[in-house]
Structure 1
Amino acid sequence: MSSSPLKILAISGSLRDSSFNSAALKTAADIAGESAKFTFADLAGIPLYDQDLRDKGVPEAVERLQQQVLEADAILFSTPEYNYSISGVLKNTIDWLSRVDPQPFADKPVAVMSASMSAFGGARAQYDLRRVMIYLNAHFVNKPEVMISFAHKKFDYSGTLNDDDTRQHIGKLVTALGEWQHRLQP
């Protein structure tokens, strides 16, 4: 593999300050160390998608995120599960990015993980995210799957992941994303 660090854009589907999904992405960055350079997307300034607004131009927050996706070697999502699917914030972001030129997810290596207080760990949200991103021609890492169930028992109040098995799975996912990126974009 290349000696330069893999540039990963981390996208959390949650805006909450103490989000388990954002904490999972920070854990991934910590585990990767110097092998990857993580940039964390900020979805807070992205307005609700509205074609009338789009017709007036692309909002600055969307342009900034588009550029971050284009500059990244790979994308790592971490999504909560809301009503058996992805969050409205994440879907809205994807809708915006699907309508810019160039569409930045095309042919991009992507991995997904999820954290949830439920026993399923966000599995249904992951499958919905994959389904949405297929249309945008993103290329997902298939395995390992990282679904952090009972997240409230695995992260402490500061957002530190205290579960060694989960840390190992996240590390394997980051490694697989790097290998996938190398295969798709040697």
Structure 2
Amino acid sequence: MAAILAFAGSNSSTSINLKLVHHTIALVSGHEIRTLNMVDYPFPMFSEDYERENGYSNSLVELKNDIQNVDALILSVNEHNGNPSAYFKNLLDWLSRVDRKFLESTKVLLMSTSGGKRGGMSSLEVVKNMLPRFGAEVVATFSLPSFNENFDVAKGILDEDLAESHRKALDEFLNAL
């Protein structure tokens, strides 16, 4: 049994990426899963001046410890103008200052979704290339395009081909644990 931490890279109270995370973890059994809502993790914009004057908040250190105490992450990232949100990039900046290899030996299922036809693919690719710098192993990826047409909270992923792609990515991730 693996310990898995699941969250979206969004601090929006209506995050569609968090909805995708909840759907994904509902399909997992036999593992210990803890879900975070990043609305509960507000961080100031990173700057060396702020870091020097204030250090690291308890919530940042606790988040870093939570990440380092699991075997794997299920993460879904949002996209703003073709990149990860400023919130998520800021989160990575802070975490990497506390411990550059905060994801060392952590397996990741990386997902994205958006209301658009590309499903946050640009952000997913940026993050997929960033996470290994911090020690992560991105095991599988999945992007859900046109969230509002392809997802229902009660039914999950509506399109059969997309549902199958999601299941394959999840299976690949779980088989790697």
- Shorter-chain-normalised TM-score: which range? 0.7 to 0.9
Deviation at 1:24, TM superposition (A): 0.5
Q: How does 1:1-186 map to 2 (within 5 A)?
A: 4=1, 6-32=2-28, 34-43=29-38, 44-55=41-52, 56-101=54-99, 103-141=101-139, 143=140, 145-156=141-152, 161-163=156-158, 165=160, 166-181=162-177
Q: How many residues align?
A: 173
**C-alpha displacement at 1:49, in angstroms?**
1.3
1:63 Cα deviation after fit: 0.9
Greater alpha carbon shift after TM alignment, 57-66 vs 47-56: 47-56
Structure ranking higher in strand proportion: 2
> Structure 2 unaligned runs (5+)?
none
Distance 1:107 1:96 in 2: 19
Asked whether the equivalents of residues 100 and 134 of structure 2 are also in contact (C-alpha less than 8 Å), the reply is no
TM-score by length of 2: 0.87
Deviates more, 1:54-63 or 1:160-169: 160-169
Question: Contact between 2:102 and 2:135, CA under 8 Å: does it hold in 1?
Answer: no
Structure 1 residue matching 2:23: 3-state secondary structure: helix
Write the letter of the residue equivalent to 2:66: Q
Q: Is the contact made by 1:23 and 1:161 (CA closer than 8 Å) also made in structure 2? A: no
RMSD in angstroms over aligned alpha carbons?
2.0
